[in-house]
Amino acid sequence: MNLKLATVFANMAELSKQKDGGAKTVIDFTRAARSIRDFPGNLEDSYNNGTLKCLPGIIPEMYDYLSEYFETGKIRFYEELKGDYSEELIKFIRISGLGKKRIFAIYEILGAKDIADLKEKISRKNSFKNILKSPKLEKDLLTKTHLERLVHSIDYYESTAALYPKGYIDFFINALVSRFKDIKDVHRVTVTGSLRRRKSFVSDIDLLVMTKSNLKGFDFAGSELFLKEVAKLPFIKTTGKRDLKHLTLSERFETTYGIDIEVIVSSGPRWAADLFYTTGSKKHVRRIEELALKSDVFTGAAGLSIDSIYRQDNPMRDIISIFTEKYFNFPEKTYPGSATPGMKNYEEGQDYSDCIIYESLGLEYVPPELREDRGEIELAKRSALPVLVKPGDIKGDLHVHSFWSDGLIEVEDIKKSCKEMGYEYLALSDHSVSNTYGNGLDDKKMLEKIKYVKSIRKNIRDFKLLVGAEIDIRGVSLLDYDESIILKTDIALASMHSNYLNTIEENTARIIGALQNPLIDAIAHPTGLVFGARAPYVFDMERIFGAAVKYDKALEINSYLLRLDINDGHAADFKKMGGKVVINTDSHRPSNLAMMYLGVEVARRAGLERDDVINTRSFKELIAWKKNRHRY
């Protein structure tokens, strides 16, 4: 419900841009969309109990639209705005950044019916040439770069169509797991699959369940009865495919949350193996299987010879399962070795049952975040896995938007958050003037903000409130603020919020130009990605990484649940080149300040350690980094 309504309001913001609805109208719709999306509760319940109108960002006009939706099931103004065009098409206009006029022109010239048809026709030989030479095309409306952006956006749209942000699932996952634990026969429930590996965007929720009837062995009848109880839970809409294999019974359920759940019923003796296999990834599992195949510890426990193993259809899971059955006595966990708080990368409250598999192969335990076959097994052989950065290592947030631009965060919200998070510092980094729809600050307003921050921080003792700025990159070596303004800030971030339609060379040159500026500290959300709303810009990331290292600048891992930019793949590559990141929340609402952990999860999946992240440094160390940074 929340994501669906947030998309409607974001679409109204986008369509208002196209109709020249005015900056204030766009800002109002955008603020409402973000407030709806970031609301952790049930929006309809909030409407019914009268608290929705008090939600920050929901001004009376926006509340009227919400009220109309809950009373009638639609918003008449939205229906008029989008006309005969589908939700899919409106969403794609936002993702591409090409604007309604260009997209509609391409649709008309190609005679496309939907996104799938558009992809097929744009991929035909000479399609670019035919579009650009069409007599139907308005002069100077489209270029080859626009069409390349279109193809890039279609690929992104398709790659994310079935995914959900992990941060959205985190709003309700604990409550969901609690409902499972309330079922009488349940002994244990753990989140597994992509969520256990803490992927930023996932396709479903995987739950591994131990029932009391399965403690000593697998009870098929008891497991079936349990799944019937699951089907009665209030958030289950329909039941799907049921599967019995490897002495586990699984079933897929459609939920009212909009995302499917797969419930895998395991047994005590096979719990460790099932946790390992359901966690994945498939590539990592296959590499571990290859090691187990060569290990007498595993093949001997299974009582199998190498020849007999190769004759079986699916031998490796059985070998690992038989081994864990012999040495893993659930729930007492009397197996060789165990996970302890002193273990590298130990986290309180996590299930380490599958630790036995790694220990028995002579490997260091591989945290779920690293199980992607990116070299982690080779490191585990040498006990050389990184000590991954933790949320508690973060000393401050350098990218927070206040009421000065498009944020709805007050000083009291900041004080409360800094106390809860144990921060030493926090920077108010508001938008600059070019970001019209972000209510960006011109020079005059920026100077007023600087004066304001300096006046109120005199009375703050528990942490350092810093003057920050998120400065738009308007061109190559061209920023919104000149040196006289930037010198008055404590932290200067540079970013791009438009320019979707530039070439890879132009975009790369803009970022590198900002990195060369000695007054810029970091690049915020470098690829410009907004999940479900904007495909990433095109860049030469290797050149950007090289420039960031050369000029000793940080690249941001943006922790907002729809950004998570740079991603774990980019962060891992950047680390290999010697780069440093800064993990920030890009908060616009008080609740966003708690999203820091999502960015830390990206860093952990990239194998980043404490020293790879500049805001794990104390305030004194942070300032020293700024002062000692190489100047070119």
CB 440 within 8 A of CB 26: no
What residues are paired with 188 via a beta bridge? 210
b/e sequence 108-125, b meaning 16+ C-beta within 10 Å: ebbebeebeebbebbeee
Number of domains in the chain: 5
Here the CATH number for the domain that contains residue 22 is: 1.10.150.110
Please determine, for residue 336, whether its predicted confidence score (pLDDT) is greater than 60: no
Q: What is the pLDDT of residue 318?
A: 64
Pair (76, 93) in one structural domain = no
Number of H helices, E strands in the chain: 29, 15
Quick one: pLDDT band at residue 298, thresholds 50, 70, 90?
Answer: low
**Structure-block tokens of residue 480:** 């919104």
Pair (370, 253) in one structural domain = no
Q: What is the pLDDT of residue 561?
A: 97
Mean pLDDT over the full length of the chain: 91
Convert the pLDDT of each residue in 159-200 to its tens digit.
Answer: 998 999 999 999 999 999 999 999 999 999 999 999 999 999
Name, in order, each residue with C-beta under 8 angstroms of 554's C-beta and a sequence gap of 6 or more. 521, 522, 523, 548, 579, 580, 581, 582, 614
Convert the pLDDT of each residue in 393-436 to its tens digit.
Answer: 999 999 999 999 999 999 999 999 999 999 999 999 999 999 98
Pair (252, 291) in one structural domain = no
Pair (76, 225) in one structural domain = no
Q: What is the pLDDT of residue 337?
A: 44
Please determine, for residue 333, whether its predicted confidence score (pLDDT) is greater than 70: no
**Structure-block tokens of residue 11:** 């679409």
Residue 345 phi/psi, 5° resolution? 65, 25
Quick one: pLDDT band at residue 15, thresholds 50, 70, 90?
Answer: confident
Smallest Cα–Cα separation from 388: which of 616, 584, 155? 616
**Structure-block tokens of residue 447:** 């100077």
Convert the pLDDT of each residue in 425-484 to its tens digit.
Answer: 999 999 999 998 899 999 999 999 999 999 999 999 999 999 999 999 999 999 999 999
Q: Which of 161, 192, 223 is the last residue of a domain?
A: 161
Pair (615, 474) in one structural domain = yes
Pair (452, 599) in one structural domain = yes
Please give the residue range of the domain that contains residue 369.
275-381
Pair (437, 471) in one structural domain = yes
Smallest Cα–Cα separation from 212: which of 303, 330, 381? 330
**604 found inside a domain:** yes
In order, the DSSP letters of 456-478 are HGGG--SSEEEEEEEEEEEETTE
**386 found inside a domain:** no
CB 229 within 8 A of CB 213: no
CB 555 within 8 A of CB 127: no
Please determine, for residue 307, whether its predicted confidence score (pLDDT) is greater than 70: no
Percent above pLDDT 70 for the chain: 92
DSSP-H helix ranges across 97-217: 100-110, 115-122, 127-132, 144-160, 166-169, 173-181, 193-196
Pair (79, 122) in one structural domain = no
Convert the pLDDT of each residue in 24-39 to its tens digit.
Answer: 899 999 999 999 999 9
Distance of CA 577 to the CA centre of its chain: 23
DSSP assigned state of 242: E
CB 81 within 8 A of CB 19: yes
Smallest Cα–Cα separation from 98: which of 142, 137, 136? 142
Most confident of 214-223, 341-350, 594-603: 594-603
Q: Which of 117, 133, 161 is the last residue of a domain?
A: 161
Q: Which of 67, 83, 99 is the last residue of a domain?
A: 83
What residues are paired with 587 via a beta bridge? 400
**236 found inside a domain:** yes
DSSP-H helix ranges across 214-295: 220-230, 271-279, 282-293
Q: What is the pLDDT of residue 328?
A: 59
**Structure-block tokens of residue 59:** 């001004």
Pair (249, 297) in one structural domain = no
Q: What is the pLDDT of residue 309?
A: 41
One-letter identity of residue 628: N
Q: What is the pLDDT of residue 305?
A: 45
Peptide bond into 331 cis (omega under 30): yes
What pairing do the DSSP bridges indicate for beta strands 464-475 and 491-495? parallel
Pair (434, 326) in one structural domain = no
Quick one: pLDDT band at residue 87, thresholds 50, 70, 90?
Answer: confident
CB 554 within 8 A of CB 587: no
Please determine, for residue 18, whether its predicted confidence score (pLDDT) is greater than 80: no
Distance of CA 177 to the CA centre of its chain: 21
**294 found inside a domain:** yes
Could you give the CA distance from residue 359 to residue 343 in angstroms, rounded to a whole number?
12
DSSP assigned state of 387: -
Please determine, for residue 308, whether its predicted confidence score (pLDDT) is greater than 90: no
Percent above pLDDT 90 for the chain: 75
Determine the straight-line distance between the first and last CA of the chain, rounded to whole angstroms.
51
Mean pLDDT of 531-535: 92
